[in-house]
Amino acid sequence: MAPRPTILDVDTGVDDALALLYAVASPEVELIGATSVMGNITVEQATENTLAVLEAAGRGDVEVAQGAARPLGRDHVPFPVVHGERGLGRAAPPPAAAKPSTRSAVDLIVGSARERPGEVLLIATGPLTNVALALREEPHLPDLLGGFALMGGAFARGGNVTPAAEANIWIDPLAAEEVFTVFSGADDARLPICVGLDVTERAVMRRPDLDAVCGPAPDSPLGRLIEGATSFYMDFYAAVVGEDGCRLHDPLAVAIAIDESLAGLVTTRVEVETDGRWTMGETVADLAGVRGSPWPVGWEPEANARVALEVAAEEFMERFVERVRSLVEARA
Ligand code: BDR
Ligand code: CA
C-alpha cells in the first residue's frame, strides 16, 4: 500500500519526539507536516523541539507550523516534571537549521486536507486546541481528512493528571469537547480513533529497549537525543509512578493510526467534562451502551469516537524498537 500523507500535531515532549521518529521510520507514512501546540511546554519550545527532532532524523525538509499558545478559555501551565524544562529531558539537541513555516498550524492542516481531499491522516498527540481551531476554520474537515487519531483520554479507567483526567484532555477540555461534537454522527471509518491511557499504559519501554534502539550509534546526534530524552522520562516514571520503564503514549497513537489491527476499537459516544473541581477533563464514554436509553437525561445517541480498549502491546513494542533502531542505524 502507498504511504499515507500524514500530519502530526505535537507538543514535543519526550514521547511526542519518539512518535515523530516512529512516523519517520514507518513505511506506511509519508510525513507531510508537523504542527506544534502548547502542552508539555510552551508552543515556541514545542516548535523548536519538533524541528530539532526532525533534523536529527534526517527530515529537516518536513514543514513545521506553529499553533496555539494557549488552550481555549483558560491559561496554559506547563508541567516540566514529566518531560523536563525544555521538553526533551536531558537531551539538548542543537537548534535546527530549518525554520518554522510561514503558515500557521491551522493553515497547514486545513490547506493540506483541501489539497488532497480524503487522503491526509491527522494524528494529534497533544491538547486538541489546533484541531478545534482547524474545525472552526473548516467544518468539513472530518470529510476532507483521510483519518484522524488522537492520544488522549481515559475511558474505562482513571486519569493521570487527576483521578479523572488524562493530561492532553485536561489541558484543553473545551477544545476536546468541540472536536468530539463536530465528529458526532460521522461514518464509522471517519470517527476519531482515541488512543487513551487504557492502552498507552500497557506500552512500556524499558532500559533494554532503549539500549537496543540506540545500540547502532549511541554517540550520533540521534542516538544522544533519544538516550537523553528517554532516560529522563524513565527516571520520572521510576520516581513518581513507580514503574520500571516509561509509557509510549504518543508513539502508540501513531502506530494504531497507521495500523488499526494493533488495537481493539469500540465505537461509542464520548463527552468531555469541561468543568468540575475534580472531574474537569474527564472523558465520559458510553461503554455500557445507554444510547437509546428511555431516560430523559439528554445523552445524545450518535457515536463520535472509536475508543481503543485493547492493544497488542508486545507486538507494538517489538515494532517500535525495530523501526526506531533502523532509523538510528541509518543516521549513524
Ligand atoms: C500525554 O501527555 C503528555 O505528557 C504526553 O506527551 C502524552 O501526549 C499522556 O497523558
Ligand atoms: Ca504529547
Residue 14 CB partners (closer than 8 Å, separation 6+): 82, 83, 84, 87, 88, 89, 229, 230, 232, 233, 246
| For the CA of 236, the nearest ligand | 1
Mean pLDDT of the chain, nearest integer? 96
Ligand 1 pocket check: which of 8, 9, 11 to mutate, most ligand atoms within 8 Å of Cβ?
11
pLDDT value at position 292?
65
Q: What would the pLDDT profile of 143-169 be if each residue is shown by its tens digit?
A: 999 999 999 999 999 999 999 999 999
Condensed to tens digits (0 to 9), the pLDDT of residues 254-276 reads 999 999 999 999 999 999 999 99
Q: Ligand 1 within 6 A of 82 CB?
A: yes
Query: ∠129-130-133 over CA atoms, to 5°?
Result: 85
Q: Is the CB of 40 under 6 A from ligand 1?
A: yes
Q: Residue 299 burial (CB < 10 Å; 0-12/13-18/19+)?
A: middle
What structural domains does the chain harbor? 4-330 (3.90.245.10)
Looking only at the bridges linking them, the beta strands covering 305-311 and 263-268 are: antiparallel
Res 314: pLDDT? 98
Residues having C-beta closer than 5 Å to ion ligand 2: 11, 13, 16, 125-126, 250
Counting Cβ atoms within 10 Å, is residue 331 exposed (0-12), middle (13-18) or buried (19+)? middle
Res. 110: pLDDT tops 70: yes
Q: Is the pLDDT of residue 78 over 90?
A: no
Instruction: Please report the atom of ligand 1 found closest to the CA of residue 247.
Output: 9
pLDDT digits (tens, 9 = 90+) for 293-323: 778 888 888 999 999 999 999 999 999 999 9
Helices 173-183, 129-137: crossing angle, 10 deg rounding: 50
Please indicate, yes or no, whether the overall pTM of this predicted structure exceeds 0.85: yes
Would you say the CB of residue 247 lies under 6 angstroms from ligand 1?
A: no
Buried b (16+ CB within 10 A) or exposed e, 70-101: bbbeeebebeeebbbebbbbebebeebebebb
pLDDT in tens, 179-198: 999 999 999 999 999 999 99
Identify whether the C-beta of residue 55 lies closer than 8 Å to the C-beta of residue 85: no
CB atoms within 10 A of CB 174: 17
- Using CA atoms in the order 276, 310, 175, 272, what is the torsion angle rounded to 10 degrees? -30
